[in-house]
Amino acid sequence: APRAVTAAALSCRRYVAGGQCKSRARLEGKVAIITGANTGIGKETARDLARRGKVIVACRDIVKAEAAASEIRAETGNQQVIVKKLDLADTKSIREFAEKFLAEEKELHILINNAGVMLCPYSKTADGFEMHLGVNHLGHFLLTFLLLERLKQSAPARIVNVSSLAHHGGRIRFHDLHGEKSYNRGLAYCHSKLANVLFTRELARRLQGKSQRRAEFTANALHPGSVHSELVRHSFVMMWLWNIFSFFLKTPWEGAQTSVYCAVAEELDSVTGQYFSDCQPAYVSPRGRDDETAKKLWSVSCELLGIQWD
């Protein structure tokens, strides 16, 4: 009986672990940016890509980011793991990051929009955006806009947006984008993750329209899985549940596999506008496939950020 229990536990664990990125692709001479790479799946994504090429760790907390980067440098032997300050809750910081990056780096091949906040008590970013929408969607929207030309010049290039299964529970509430009329922190997270899916869809559509060589430039979104990470730190109940059920959660390494897959897998060279989970295509909610909402979200995002992105 104990052996059967152990076997059952192992197969359950294997199921939870999900898909793994098998690609051996090297990224010599290539540059990747990963936002929020000082902890959780971002850090594991950075660790993996650092075994392949140059990685820019873009984080709000420089001290934590330096600690993570030096650990990754020591482990991979790659000295090209570079920390840059980026606070996605402040458009000024995003613009400064982009300006410095563009001045220092002539190429950019992979942009992984990984950083995120979850279950925050109601608060606003430096620019007055609701925190989930501001960091998870608008911050990455602006960052991608500012780095787009460099990505195009460096093609083939990839944009990878870390979304979530939670997008199924989201809706884009244009009448109350910043949750001033009603706010639920769980739903606010879901709304922002739906925004990631819609942004990816519309971005891919626009890039396809512009590029003659479709394979050159792709944008995909993904669900990393339910990962045992610091993302739930704003909720005592979730932290408690996360610890109790940790056996049924992915480790950060397991959670990073689909991000790495979307960033490097050769078979995705010309795949764009898709949504992945466990290193394979996954089901997108009907709201996540709504092109009209995607277009409207795009123009509203541009308005809020004061940019023109045609």
Q: How does pLDDT run across 248-283, given as a tens digit for each residue? A: 678 889 999 999 999 999 999 999 999 999 999 999
What would the pLDDT profile of 149-175 be if each residue is shown by its tens digit?
999 999 999 999 999 999 999 999 999
- pLDDT value at 10 more than 90: no
How far apart CA 250 and CA 231 sit, in angstroms, is 13
Residue 230, SS3?
Answer: helix
Average pLDDT over residues 135-142: 98
DSSP conformation letters of 183-214? --HHHHHHHHHHHHHHHHHHHHHHHHHH-SSG
Distance CA 48, CA 55 (A): 10
Q: What are the residues whose beta carbons fall under 8 Å from the beta carbon of 178, sequence distance 6 or more?
A: 124, 128, 129, 130, 133
Q: What letter represents residue 91's amino acid?
A: T
Q: Which of 171, 247, 230 is nearest to 5 (CA)?
A: 247
The whole model's pTM is what?
Answer: 0.92
- Tokens 């009329």 found at: 181
Token match 């809706």: residue? 171
Q: Looking at residue 211, what is its pLDDT?
A: 52
Domains of the chain and any CATH numbers: 1-305 (3.40.50.720)
Instruction: Choose the catalytic residue: 15, 189, 275, 283.
Output: 189
Res. 21: pLDDT tops 60? yes
Q: Which of 30-34, 178-182, 226-230, 232-236 has the lowest mean pLDDT?
A: 232-236
- 307, pLDDT greater than 90: yes
pLDDT tier at 228, thresholds 50, 70, 90? low
User: Looking at residues 49-56, what average pLDDT do you find?
Assistant: 98
- What pLDDT, on a 0 to 100 scale, did the predictor assign at position 5? 55
pLDDT given for residue 216 in this prediction:
81
189 catalytic per annotation: yes
CA pair distance 98, 101, nearest whole angstrom: 5
Q: Does residue 121 have a cis peptide bond before it, meaning omega lies within 30 degrees of 0? A: no
58: three-class secondary structure by DSSP: strand
pLDDT at 117: 94
| Cα 181 from Cα 176, distance rounded (Å) | 6
Range scoring the smallest mean pLDDT among 144-158, 234-248, 277-291: 234-248
Q: At 19, is the pLDDT very low, low, confident or very high (cuts 50, 70, 90)?
A: confident
